[in-house]
Structure 1
Amino acid sequence: MRLLMMVPACLLLAACGKEEAAPDPVRPVLTVIVQPQDVQRLGRFAGSIQARFESTLGFRVAGRIARRWVDVGAQVKPDDILASLDPTDQRNQVRAAEGDLAKVQALWINAQADARRQQALYDRGVGAQAQLDVAQTNLKTTSATLEQAKAALRQAKDQLGYSELRSDHAAVVTAWQAEAGQTVTAGQSVVTLARPDIKEAVIDLPINLAEQLSSGLEFLVASQLDPSITAKASLREIEPQADAATRTRRARLTLAQTPDAFHLGTAISVTLSSSVSPRSELPASALLDKDGKPSVWVVDPQQKTVSMREVKLLDRDAATVTLASGVQAGERVVTAGVNSLKPGQKVIVDEDSAP
């Protein structure tokens, strides 16, 4: 009887042992697929397309502007007239120079005749050497005065020509700094011309970013009206002094190619990126500390189980972590429920959670 009573007790204990050894439950988890990146995005900035070469022209003589011949936006060819001064003063100077030249020419003709007469008298023996010397000296002096008068007339004509402001190359008028009727001085800025054949992208960068620019940076320029129109660019120059109001430094970019849609003044957006060593970015919730070492749960796609793997942490913030190594491209990493998993535990993967 005792033996028969012990049998059910043993069976009960065996059943309890089997319940304690029950496998861990299958847990649903959220995951992402590792996608290593070798390019670091540094930001996007607004800018515009501008001409690389601009020139500000002014009259070479002073005067009152009589007329502006072109407006802002006009395309001009070499030697096209842009503006003109009232030429009255310059014309009077030409007339005065012409009168002086005529007077000196008459004196020069008279000096030539006198020198010939004195030379003939001296050759016949009836003229004095002193008179011949005086006549020849007078001829040389008058000849020099004649050359001076001719130069003065050329200068006066040049001054008259300077009363017209002309373009010295094909360009687009981008700004006027003076109006018709305004009196300007010699060299004062009057009009700004831009060469449309060579264009570049111009953006303003924050000081901290401008100081970290390196030769490995890549610039992608896109039209704001049509982002599908893009062009690669490289840094040509950056202004050494920051703008006091905006605390930014202006950067000028050379375009590798210039789409037809990139007209002067076109609004653009420029994306800055830099080549870096391969790295992976994951949600911050994927990282856990195991014995003081950063680790993640990696899902076995065949067995649907997880295993813990130590990783090398490169950077982290409140939302993301950047890993230098430890995971491979295409692997699936758990991003939610990491604290309730065990090595080898089966999981249900939410496929939709993958990017």
Structure 2
Amino acid sequence: MKRLLPLLCAAVLLSGCSKEEAAPAPVRPVLSIRVVAQSEESLGRFAGNIQARYETNLGFRVPGRIANRTVDVGAEVGPGDLLATLDPTDQQNQLRAAQGDLAKVEAQWINAQANARRQQELFDRGVGAQAQLDIAQTDLKTTGAALDQAKAAVRQAQDQLNYSQLHSDHGGVVTAWNAEAGQVVTAGQQVVTLARPEIKEAVIDLPATLVDQLPTDVEFKVAAQLDPSISTTATVREIEPQAQSATRTRRARLTLKDTPEAFRLGTAISVTLSSAIEPRTELPLSALQEVDGQTRIWVIDPQSQTVAPRAIKVLSRDGDSALIGQGVKPGERVVSAGVNSLKPGQKVKIDEDRAQ
């Protein structure tokens, strides 16, 4: 018995020492993300370009063959500048014919005037007949009407000759040519498009199904494709009522809130549609843990560097991410991987500082 007592004491001492010297739980390195709330819902991104709100399609008032074009696409023109000309041969021939007819009628007018004066003088002296005077005066009136008609024909022929030149109605930028030199065009056929650059707008094509579902508070963010830092917002000015049969899209014209200098006519743009929503958070599916039918996440305490589980409300899941409606606040840090091996109060080491 005396021999067993020291052995028992030694065992008790060894047991106490092993409890005091037990190694603490290891610090677990984890991947984490910082929560960022989303207050807007993206409805899509579409390509478009900057166009002038007001464009004019110009054409010749007379038919003919285009002789030359004096400006190219992109040229700035002022009011009355010459844009193109037709071969004026036909119009010149019509003018010469009208001028010849006018000279002929003018000669007849002179003769009618002289004859009317003679008949009036003879009648006044009593040697002329009333019938002859009436005929002379009738001829004078008829010739006078023919003279007015001939003069109008000359003016019309002169106008036709002038119409063989196409001038700009207002200042602007040439955005398109629809006819080339040597091409025969009809009267009124669209030849050139002239845009007024002072008022610009964004033009995009939207799917017809999306147009019908656009919320009233939808916001368009317009950015230059080459430099996305150049951007502004826009609102809908008009949407074509009928979809294009080939693409099933409807053209939308957007009024720009501001017009950056870099937004020149024809500039390629990227338009993002978004709508205001209740604040929500997007987390990767790897950050979620299912326990007893409840979804939770592990939140990191920045002071103690420990983790604690927290129940959340999942709004939807899509691919590798989930939308969280309740249970997490902006700025909090959440474990993004390895959640199934964590324990409440466990210390962790943050290896990466990523923001969602």
The TM-score normalised by the length of structure 2 is: 0.79
The alignment partner of 1:47 has SS state of strand
Unpaired runs of at least 5, structure 1: none
The alignment partner of 2:336 has SS state of strand
Structure 1 residues 227 and 102 mapped into 2: Cα distance closer, same or farther (>3 Å)?
same
Q: Does the Cα contact within 8 Å between 1:223 and 1:230 map onto a contact in 2? A: yes
Kindly indicate whether residue 313 of structure 2 is the aligned counterpart of residue 312 of structure 1. yes
Aligned residue for 2:330?
A: 329
Kindly indicate whether residue 58 of structure 2 is the aligned counterpart of residue 76 of structure 1. no
Deviation at 1:140, TM superposition (A): 4.3
Give the counterpart letter for 2:161 in structure 1: L
Mapped partners of 1:286, 1:350: distance in 2? 15
Mapped partners of 1:124, 1:304: distance in 2? 134
Structure 1 residues 302 and 261 mapped into 2: Cα distance closer, same or farther (>3 Å)?
closer
Aligned residue for 1:346?
A: 346
Q: Does the Cα contact within 8 Å between 1:108 and 1:146 map onto a contact in 2? A: yes
Q: Does the Cα contact within 8 Å between 1:41 and 1:272 map onto a contact in 2? A: yes
The alignment partner of 1:352 has SS state of coil
Aligned residue for 1:298?
A: 299
The alignment partner of 1:336 has SS state of coil
Give the counterpart letter for 2:331 in structure 1: G
Deviation at 1:235, TM superposition (A): 2.8
Q: Does the Cα contact within 8 Å between 1:29 and 1:347 map onto a contact in 2? A: no
Q: Does the Cα contact within 8 Å between 2:304 and 2:347 map onto a contact in 1? A: no
Kindly indicate whether residue 98 of structure 2 is the aligned counterpart of residue 94 of structure 1. no
Taking the TM superposition and a 5 Å limit, the aligned residue runs for 1:280-291 are: 280-291=281-292
Mapped partners of 1:303, 1:243: distance in 2? 61
The alignment partner of 1:188 has SS state of coil
Quick check: 267-276 or 321-330, which moved more? 267-276
Q: Across the two proteins, how many residue pairs are aligned to each other? A: 348
Q: Does the Cα contact within 8 Å between 2:63 and 2:184 map onto a contact in 1? A: yes
Deviation at 1:162, TM superposition (A): 0.6
Aligned residue for 1:165?
A: 166
Write out per-residue CA displacement over residues 114-164 of structure 1, whole angstroms, 9 at most, x where no aligned residue. Answer: 666666777788877766665555544444333322222221111010111
Deviation at 1:353, TM superposition (A): 4.3
Unpaired runs of at least 5, structure 2: none
Deviation at 1:200, TM superposition (A): 2.6
Taking the TM superposition and a 5 Å limit, the aligned residue runs for 1:14-25 are: none
Write out per-residue CA displacement over residues 154-196 of structure 1, whole angstroms, 9 at most, x where no aligned residue. Answer: 2111101011111112222333333333322222232233333
The TM-score normalised by the length of structure 1 is: 0.79
Give the counterpart letter for 2:193 in structure 1: T
Write out per-residue CA displacement over residues 89-135 of structure 1, whole angstroms, 9 at most, x where no aligned residue. Answer: 21222222223333334444555566666667777888777666655
Quick check: 206-215 or 128-137, which moved more? 128-137
Quick check: 57-66 or 189-198, which moved more? 189-198
The alignment yields a C-alpha RMSD, in angstroms, of 3.9
Q: Does the Cα contact within 8 Å between 1:231 and 1:258 map onto a contact in 2? A: yes
Aligned residue for 1:187?
A: 188
Q: Does the Cα contact within 8 Å between 1:282 and 1:321 map onto a contact in 2? A: yes
Deviation at 1:38, TM superposition (A): 0.9
Kindly indicate whether residue 45 of structure 2 is the aligned counterpart of residue 44 of structure 1. yes
Give the counterpart letter for 2:48 in structure 1: G
Mapped partners of 1:180, 1:304: distance in 2? 78
